[in-house]
Amino acid sequence: MPTKARRLLIILMGLVIVSTLHFSTRTDGATVHAWHIFFRKLYFIPIVASAVWFGISGAFITAFTAISVYSIHMWLNWPSAHMERMNQIGEMGSFLILAAVSGVLVTLENRYREKADRIQREAEREKIGTAVAALTETLGARDTETLDHSKRVAGLAKGFASFLEFPAEELHDIYLAGVLHDIGKIGIRDDVLLKPDTLTDEERHKIMKHPEIAEHILAPIGFEKVVRYIAAHHENMDGSGYPKGVSGDQIPAAGRVLAITDIYDALRSGRSYKGPMSESTVRQIMTEMAGKKLDKNLLNKFWGYIDSSGYTAPLEPG
C-alpha cells in the first residue's frame, strides 16, 4: 500500500495526465472527437481512487479539482452548439455524482469491515478468555497458592501499568501475563513444586524452567506478547536472570512491570513455607534489588502507585 504522500502524488499525476490527453486531442473529426470524449471520462479514475484512499471528502476534493481544470478547457474552447455546452456542463456534474456515490460506497465498506473486525476481535477475546480460564483452573487444581498469587499479580500489574499510562490493549496483555506467568509450573512435579522445605540446586533448576514450559504451552494458542512478557518476568536488569539472561532495555517494559509486581506479592503474602513480610521489610529488600534484579526507575514509580492507590497486601503479618 503506497504512503499518503505517494497516493496524493498518484492522484495529482492522474489529473495531469488525463488533462493533457484531453486538452491535446483534436475534435475536428469523428474518430479523434471520440478519443477526446474518452479521455474526458478518465477523470473518473482519480476521483474513484481518492474515494478509496481518502474517503468521501477526498473524492469531492478531487472532483472539484477536475471540474476546475476542465472549466479552463471549456473557457478556452467554448462550444457554439447549445447541446454540446449542456453536455459538458453535465459531464462536470457527473464528476460530483461519482464522488458522492463512490465515497458513500467506500464509507459503507469501511464500516462493514470495522464491524467484521470488531466481531472477530470479540471472538478472539472469548477464545482467549476460555483458554485462560481452563489453564488457570488446571494450575489451581494442583496449587491454590500459586493460583491466588497469579490472580493478585495480574490485578496489581494491570493497575501499575495503567498508572504508567500503558496503552489499553497492552493492559489486557499484561493482565493475561500476570494470570498466566506461573502456568509453566504445571510441568513441574508435585514433589518439587509443592515441597515445603528448602529446594536443592537441582530442584531450583527445575523450577527455573517454568517460563520456558509456559512458552511451549501458550505459543500454539497465539499469545505472542503474553508469552514474551511471561518469558521476561524472571530476567534481571544486570543480565543474571533466566531463561535467556538478557539485561536492561532488552527486557520488555511489561516484563519489568511483571517482575516487580511478582516479587512484591511473593514477599508480602504468606505461603505454606513462609509467613508474609511487613511493607517496610519488603520495600527494603526490593530497594536493594534496584538496578540489579529490578528496574530502578520503575520501582520508584511502583512505590508511588502503591501509596496513591491504597493497595493493601492480602495477608498482613501477625
Helix intervals (H) in 143-167? 144-163
Asked whether the beta carbons of 219 and 194 are under 8 A apart, the reply is no
Cα R_g (the chain), whole angstroms: 33
Beta bridge partners of 284: none
Asked whether the beta carbons of 263 and 255 are under 8 A apart, the reply is no
Asked whether the beta carbons of 226 and 180 are under 8 A apart, the reply is yes
Whole-angstrom Cα distance, residue 236 to residue 14? 57
Backbone angles phi, psi at 189, to 5 degrees: -60, 150
Closest CA to 206 of 191, 225, 228: 191
Whole-angstrom Cα distance, residue 143 to residue 131? 18
**Out of 185, 206, 244, 293, which one is annotated catalytic?**
185
Give catalytic status of residue 185 as yes or no: yes
Backbone angles phi, psi at 290, to 5 degrees: -60, 130
Catalytic residues: 185
